[in-house]
Amino acid sequence: MTRRWSRTSPPPTSPQYGLAWRRRSRTSGPRCATPGTPTTRGPCSCRPTYPSPIPAGNGFRYGQTGYTRQSVGGCGFWNADADWANATALTTINNTVRAAITQSGLSNTRLLELQSTFNGRRLCEKTVGLYEEVGLTSWRQSTAVDKTEWVNQIRTVTTVGSNYYLQESIHPNYWGQLAVRSCVRQSYHLNRGGTCAIAGTGILNGEPRMTLS
């Protein structure tokens, strides 16, 4: 139902990617651009917040009675738990990231806001569906990026020995990784932070259409 990121190259959020940025920041000093201002200076050190992987309770396309949310959608959350995860847990985590940037006192660090980046494409959200639910047969089809989820299902021990890994549960899938890559690339080339969001339907340069504002 979902596709994992290729093991042949590290995703844009991998330690290798971040280390290269940190090395350049340390050796070249503060050189971030003011948001919206073109610059020829090198990249700043951008720190992302965590994206919301599931909708609030009223945003699920499956009811919370029975086992359908987990057995079909792989999103076994009660409404109240989903509300808490978004309003309390995620907010607390991301506020910690924001505060850490401020308290660090580093002038070459910018915030890349990803908290709402997957909104509309989250796991079990009403606006998307599994392939069979939206009339698709493969992730390779042209409309898959717009009609399917960008977050991996919650895996259980039944997937041991399969092509899936338990630790990939509720993390960005193929489309989610490409969306984040687009956000990171835009932040890199524009030399600034900002809020990254879905900009439209379809694919641009092999990635979902994203915009950094």
Q: Compute the average pLDDT of residues 3-18.
A: 37
Beta-bridge partners for 84: none
For CA atoms 59, 62, 67, 71, the dihedral sign is negative
- Decide: residue 203, CB within 10 A, 0-12 exposed, 13-18 middle, 19+ buried: middle
Rounded to a whole number of angstroms, the distance between the first and last alpha carbons of the chain is 32
Question: Using the 8-state DSSP alphabet, how is residue 7 labeled?
Answer: T
pLDDT digits (tens, 9 = 90+) for 72-108: 999 999 999 999 999 999 999 999 999 999 998 888 8
Closest CA to 97 of 168, 132, 53, 47: 47
Tell how far CA 164 is from the center of its chain.
19
Q: How many helices (H) and strands (E) does the chain have?
A: 6, 4
pLDDT one-digit tens code per residue, 163-204 = 666 778 899 999 999 999 999 999 989 989 999 999 999 999
Work out the angle at residue 178's Cα, subtended by the Cα atoms of residues 172 and 180, and round it to the nearest 5 degrees: 70
Query: For residue 8, what are the contacts with CB-CB under 8 A and spacing of at least 6?
Result: none
Smallest CA-to-CA distance from 156 within 143, 170, 145, 144 is with 170
Q: What is the pTM of this model?
A: 0.77
Between 45 and 196, whose confidence is greater?
196
Q: What are phi and psi of 151, to 5 degrees?
A: -130, 135
